[in-house]
Amino acid sequence: MKTSDITVDISTALSGAQGDMNPAPKDSTNPHFKSRYADLASCKEAAKPALAKHGLAVVQTISTNFDQKAVGVFTRLTHKSGQWYEGETWCQPRDLTPQSIGAAATYLRRYGFSAIIGLVTEEDDDGNHAQGIPSKPRPSKEEPKQTAAGVFTGSDEQLTKIVEILNKNLIPESDFEIIFARMQGKPSTYIFQIVKEYA
The per-residue pLDDT for 198 is 63
Residue 136 lies in a domain: no
Residue 150 and residue 93 share a domain = no
The per-residue pLDDT for 179 is 73
Nearest-CA neighbor of 85 among 73, 76, 94, 93?
76
Q: What are phi and psi of 49, to 5 degrees?
A: -60, -45
Residue 110 lies in a domain: yes
Which has more confidence, 174 or 55? 55
Residue 169 lies in a domain: yes
SS3 63: strand
The per-residue pLDDT for 30 is 56
Q: What is the DSSP letter of 22?
A: P
Confidence of residue 100 (pLDDT cuts 50, 70, 90): confident
Residue 191 and residue 111 share a domain = no
Confidence of residue 53 (pLDDT cuts 50, 70, 90): very high
Arithmetic mean of pLDDT over the chain: 77
Residue 38 and residue 115 share a domain = yes
Residue 114 lies in a domain: yes
Residue 159 and residue 65 share a domain = no
In whole angstroms, how far apart are CA 156 and each of 58, 112, 139, 141?
41, 33, 12, 7
Give the pLDDT confidence of 62-78 residue by residue, as tens digits. Answer: 999 989 889 999 999 99
Residue 61 and residue 147 share a domain = no
Residue 104 and residue 187 share a domain = no
Asked if pLDDT for residue 17 goes beyond 80, the answer is yes
What's the domain count of the chain?
A: 2
Nearest-CA neighbor of 165 among 187, 136, 123, 194?
194
Which of 66-75, 121-130, 189-198 holds the top average pLDDT?
66-75
Residue 79 lies in a domain: yes
Q: What is the DSSP letter of 19?
A: H
Q: Where are the alpha helices (DSSP H) in 4-155?
A: 8-20, 40-53, 98-117, 128-131
**What is the per-residue DSSP string for 82-97?**
S-EEEEEEEE--S--S
Q: Are 168 and 192 in contact (CB under 8 A)?
A: no
Residue 80 and residue 32 share a domain = yes
Residue 18 and residue 102 share a domain = yes
The per-residue pLDDT for 144 is 37
Residue 169 and residue 103 share a domain = no
Element (H, E) at 151: strand 150-152
Q: Whole domain around residue 34: which residue ranges?
A: 2-122
**Rounded CA gap, 2 and 89, in Å?**
13
Give the pLDDT confidence of 133-180 residue by residue, as tens digits. Answer: 454 444 443 433 443 333 455 666 777 777 777 777 777 766 776 676
Residue 99 and residue 10 share a domain = yes
The per-residue pLDDT for 147 is 38
Q: What is the DSSP letter of 140?
A: P
Residue 110 and residue 163 share a domain = no
In whole angstroms, how far apart are CA 145 and each of 7, 105, 152, 196?
49, 28, 5, 24
Residue 134 lies in a domain: no
Residue 130 lies in a domain: no
Residue 188 and residue 94 share a domain = no
Residue 135 lies in a domain: no
